[in-house]
Every structure is written in C-alpha cells, then in structure tokens.
Amino acid sequence: MASRPLPPTPPKEHCFTFNVPEDTVSIDEIIDSIEETVGDEGVLFLQHFGTSKFLIATRTADQATSLLVNEGFCIRKEKVSVDAVGPPIVHVNVYRLPPYVFNDSLVAALQPYGKVHDLQCTTVQKRQTTYSGTRVVKTEMTSPAPNFVTVLGHRAMLEYRGMRRVCARCSGEGHMAATCTKPFCQRCSAFGHGTETCTVACRKCGGDHSAKECFRRKSHAAVTQSTVASQEDFPSLSEALAVRTRTPYATARLQVLSPRRELCDADLLAAWTVTPHASNAPTTRSPKPRAPSLK
C-alpha cells in the first residue's frame, strides 16, 4: 500500500453524524449524495461506526454551514438528517450599529447565543483605509441569534447563513419592512390592530384611555420602583429655621444688595472730603478748584 501524507485534523464544528437508510447503500453513493449538497471534494472524512451509523467531516466551514442549512442530504430521494458533533462556527454580519459603540458591548449582546472567537471590521470596496461600519463576528453559536438585537440602545441587524429573517418594522415573517402593511396601535404600541379598536387599559392609572391621554403624571418612583424617603420624613420649614437659630454657629443671614446708582459730579466732589471718625483723626481738606488756564 502506497503511503500518503497525513490529512489535516478537522475541527469538531466540521463533523456530523448520520444514519443511512436500512437498504444497502454503497460508500460511493453516500459520498456522491453528500457532495451534491456541500460541493465537489467536500468530504474530507467518511468513517463507519457499525450498522448504519456514519461520521462525516467537511473540508471547510462553508461546506459545514451548507450542510446545516439544508438540514442534511438526500439518498435515493430520501432525506437523511445530520447531527453536529460540536457547536457550529458561524460568521455573523452586524449592520446598522454606529462605529462609536465599543466592540465589548457587541460581544456582550451576542454572548447569550454562543462564544465569540473573533471580531473584524470590513472596509469600503477599493478603499482599504475607509471602513464601512459592518462588523463580522466569528461565533461558536449554540442557539440561533435573532434578526435584530439591541446594543446600548441601538437596534442592530444581524445576518448569517440559515438565519430566520423577519420584518424590521413588525418582526413578522414572510415580508420586508418596505412592503409591511400591518397596522400599528399608538395606544399599546403593538402591531396587528388599529388605535380605534384597542381596549388595553392605561398603564398609569388603569383607566379606559391611552397612556398619552392620561392626566395623571407618572412619578419617578413609579418608573424606577425605588424606595424614596417620603415628605413626612423631612422637617417643616419653620422647624428647620428654629433649629438653625438655636445653633451657636449659625450662619448669618444674607444681605440683600441694591443696585449701585451712577455717580454724578456732586458725588465725586463730595468724595474728596473725608469726615473724621475720631477726635484725634486728621482732617483732610477738600481741594480748591483750579482757575481755568488761559492759553
């Protein structure tokens, strides 16, 4: 037997197990059926585990993704489902997320759907120094991510192979936002019915009207549901002033200053004369007016 170089070790996300039908199926027929789905020379390993169980390993991640999207392959017009050995590696494109949002915030938003391995940013075509704002996240996806996620208040759109697409307006399936005709209720902020036929009670007082038409103001305590000290816990103004006057180091009252009026010539002349405050204080005479000089 001629020796051949060792094949590359495939990662778990490229490996799948399946069971062939009970009828006699040849190895060549299995490989040809799989390559009709993943492409030519897409099968790297095909291992038999006894009876009708097999393990397949694809060469690339795209071939593994196509096998997942098609949910298997067909042999003799019969569907054969595959089971992934490890969680698949999915490249998720993130759109409509501003560039000033940090990558750590995006990774935290995608963490519930799998482990993030890498994150890159794409550039504008023919301009390698200008980024397009689209981010590509390499994720070990354990559960399917939704079409839209919220990252720091921004609604970002996700796109990956095998994703279930929904409408960006009403989150419904089978149509896009440009052709969406579902009515929107301004009373309960929900899609599917109009505002005139809505019977949802007011969120503020429970009355038979919308929250926008409610006269009762929603307090900050009701919004945050936090415990705030009531008005009874604070002393009255008279009690606070009485305690302040009894304090030995009480602060003096503020003096109200009146606006300064403009000085006239008489005031300027009087400013030269200083009134003595004591008997021993020197007296300053007012200067004599000078006679006009004749030139």
pTM equals: 0.48
| CA–CA dist 284, 149 (Å, integer) | 85
For residue 58, the model assigns a pLDDT of 92
Residues 145 and 202 in one domain: no
| CA–CA dist 58, 73 (Å, integer) | 13
For residue 191, the model assigns a pLDDT of 79
Residues 106 and 147 in one domain: yes
- State the alpha helices, DSSP H only, in 70-209: 103-110
pLDDT tens-digit readout, 232-262: 555 666 666 665 555 555 455 556 566 666 5
| CA–CA dist 61, 44 (Å, integer) | 12
For residue 276, the model assigns a pLDDT of 52
Q: Number of helices and strands (H, E) in the chain? A: 6, 13
For residue 64, the model assigns a pLDDT of 86
CATH number reported for the structural domain that contains residue 28 in this entry: 3.30.70.330
Residue owning tokens 């799989």: 34
Asked if 10 and 57 count as a contact pair (C-beta separation under 8 A), the reply is yes
Residue 46 lies in a domain: yes
Query: First-to-last CA distance in the chain?
Result: 133
Domain containing 222 equals 183-226
Residue 74 lies in a domain: yes
Please state the domain count of the chain.
3
Indicate the residue type of 221. Answer: A
Residue 277 lies in a domain: no
Asked if 155 and 164 count as a contact pair (C-beta separation under 8 A), the reply is no
Indicate the residue type of 70. Answer: N
Name the residue among 201, 169, 206 with its Cα closest to residue 188: 201
Residue 287 lies in a domain: no
Residues 145 and 99 in one domain: yes
Residues 76 and 108 in one domain: no
SS3 call for 33: helix
Residues 57 and 106 in one domain: no
Category of 24 on φ-ψ map: left (φ > 0), alpha (ψ -120 to 50) or beta: beta
| CA–CA dist 79, 74 (Å, integer) | 5
Residues 188 and 137 in one domain: no
Residues 111 and 58 in one domain: no
- Domain boundary pick from 84, 119, 146: 84
Residue 288 lies in a domain: no
| CA–CA dist 176, 202 (Å, integer) | 31
pLDDT tens-digit readout, 54-65: 999 999 888 888
> What six digits make up the tokens of 98?
């501003």
> What six digits make up the tokens of 66?
């196509």
List of the chain residues with pLDDT < 50? 1, 226-230, 250, 278-279
